[in-house]
Amino acid sequence: MHLLSQILTPDRTVCHGHGPSKKRLFETIAKLVCANQPALRYDDILDHLIAREKLGSTGLGQGIAIPHCRVGNCTQPIGALLSLATPIPFDAPDEQPVDLLFLLLVPEEARQQHLDILANIAHLFSQHRFCRQLRAARDSSTLYQIACSGAD
């Protein structure tokens, strides 16, 4: 089974989302994740995302960002995928704005699992064909299907 299909759901996949700034985008993501995860609190998720980003940008370059953090009350890895209608500055190493974002939340104690999943996601998003397919999606359902099928 493909990794993203294990941690992503259709309701946490947004095509052509809006986020005029990194902070507003994190607010949107926190709401998206908490909508179907009653154990997770919006303020906690937002605080963790902002704190992690202060350590260094999670922008990888080439329009990709993978914000990630470990969170208490999170019982399993959770993902969210957004393609943005308008790319936003993200302090990426190549200074390119971000238009594809994958959020990863993992349980607080899952240090190695966090690193392993993050490495797999970074590898997947480093594949140009996969990212082109995601960017070509016209709706959230198609974006989810492409993400879960992975790079061919």
Residues taking part in catalysis? 68
Closest CA to 68 of 110, 99, 130: 110
CB–CB of 117/4 below 8 Å? no
What dihedral angle (degrees, nearest 10) is formed by the CA atoms of 106, 107, 110, 111? 60
- Cα dihedral 111→104→12→24 (10° resolution): 130
